[in-house]
């Protein structure tokens, strides 16, 4: 398959770029962090969505080298923003189950932090509930990351089978309320669901970040539900690092 074979060249030929999507405090719209999101510009096919090529890279193992590159690039970028005098913000990086299973994640994270001379608490690792396929190993790795001082966030929260188990058993910092809950905020049932998850998060002393906020209506309903943080096109899509500098300088 074309994409699979071309993926092999993408790293060495520098076709990847890391984009950043701001994460904001909902009440003030103040930027409190960024999510690193990988982008691939194929020389002939143009932009290919990570939703398309990440699963392939997970399947054939290339996610290991790609993931390493994303993590190091994001850490170095975060440090560069600090050098440029922008106030430090938390940076989150998505990590696949496959990277968890590979056994070198802790070493890699340590290396990335050292290379960038980044304060560990500024790095957040985003994982999905599917890491629970390997409960014991995953729990150990998450503990190890926490011991380094790195933060852990559960992506697409509420869509997997083990949401409550995760909240109860893992030392995590943040849950990211999946976009599917936000899409349908006109429904009273969905509003109840969102309020309940936000309460659960608060009671467990977790940060709750709503994903995929696109309208003022959704924003207001989330604020009513006491959700404190969010991401979405209403604030900004994922943009290149240079554009983030403008956003941070404009910031109140």
With contact defined as beta carbons under 8 Å apart, do 71 and 233 qualify?
A: no
Please give the size of the binding site for ligand G, defined by CB under 6 A: 22
Q: Is 129 in the site for ligand G (CB under 6 A)?
A: no
With contact defined as beta carbons under 8 Å apart, do 17 and 66 qualify?
A: no
Note the helical H segments in 84-227.
Answer: 97-101, 105-116, 135-148, 163-169, 179-183, 188-203, 216-224
CA distances, 151 to each of 14, 23, 232 (Å): 29, 15, 21
What is the distance between the alpha carbons of residues 198 and 190, in angstroms, rounded to a whole number?
12
Residue 36-75 contact track with ligand G, rule CB under 6 A, x = bound: -xx----------xxx--x------------x--x-----
Q: Which is nearer to ligand G, 84 or 187 (CB)?
A: 187
Q: How far is the CB of 19 from ligand G (least distance, A)?
A: 7
Q: Which is nearer to ligand G, 126 or 228 (CB)?
A: 126
Residues of span 190-249 touching ligand G by CB under 6 A: 211-214, 231-233, 238
Q: Is 188 in the site for ligand G (CB under 6 A)?
A: no
What is the distance between the alpha carbons of residues 74 and 178, in angstroms, rounded to a whole number?
23
Q: How far is the CB of 13 from Mn ion (least distance, A)?
A: 26
Q: Can you spell out the DSSP letters for 93-106?
A: EE--HHHHHTS-HH
Q: Which is nearer to ligand G, 62 or 89 (CB)?
A: 62
Residue 133-172 contact track with ligand G, rule CB under 6 A, x = bound: ----------------------xx----------------
Phi and psi at residue 36, to the nearest 5° = -80, 125
Region of 13-21, 99-107, 207-215, 237-245 interacting with Na ion (CB under 5 A): 207-215
Residues that bind ligand G (CB under 6 A): 21, 37-38, 49-51, 54, 67, 70, 94-96, 155-156, 211-214, 231-233, 238
């Amino acid at each position: 398959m074309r994409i699979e074979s071309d993926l092999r060249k993408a790293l060495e030929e520098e076709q990847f770029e890391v984009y950043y999507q701001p994460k904001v405090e909902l009440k003030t719209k103040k930027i409190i962090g960024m999510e690193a999101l990988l982008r691939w510009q194929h020389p002939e096919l143009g932009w290919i969505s990570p939703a398309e090529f990440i699963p392939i890279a997970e399947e054939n193992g290339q996610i290991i080298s790609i993931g390493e590159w994303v993590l190091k690039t994001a850490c170095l970028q975060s440090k560069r923003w600090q050098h440029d005098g922008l106030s430090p913000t938390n940076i989150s990086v998505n990590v696949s189950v496959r990277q968890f299973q590979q056994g070198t994640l802790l070493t890699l994270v340590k290396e990335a932090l050292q290379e960038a001379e980044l304060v560990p608490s500024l790095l957040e690792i985003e994982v999905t509930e599917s890491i629970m396929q390997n409960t014991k190993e995953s729990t150990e790795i998450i503990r190890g990351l926490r011991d380094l001082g790195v933060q852990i966030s559960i992506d697409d929260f509420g869509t997997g089978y083990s949401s409550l188990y995760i909240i109860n058993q893992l030392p995590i910092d943040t849950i990211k309320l999946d976009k599917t809950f936000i899409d349908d905020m006109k429904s009273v049932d969905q509003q109840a669901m969102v309020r309940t998850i936000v309460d659960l998060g608060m009671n467990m002393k977790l940060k709750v970040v709503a994903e995929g906020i696109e309208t003022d209506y959704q924003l207001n309903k989330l604020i009513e539900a006491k959700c404190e943080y969010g991401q979405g096109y209403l604030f900004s899509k994922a943009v290149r690092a240079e554009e983030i500098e403008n956003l941070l300088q404009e910031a109140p």
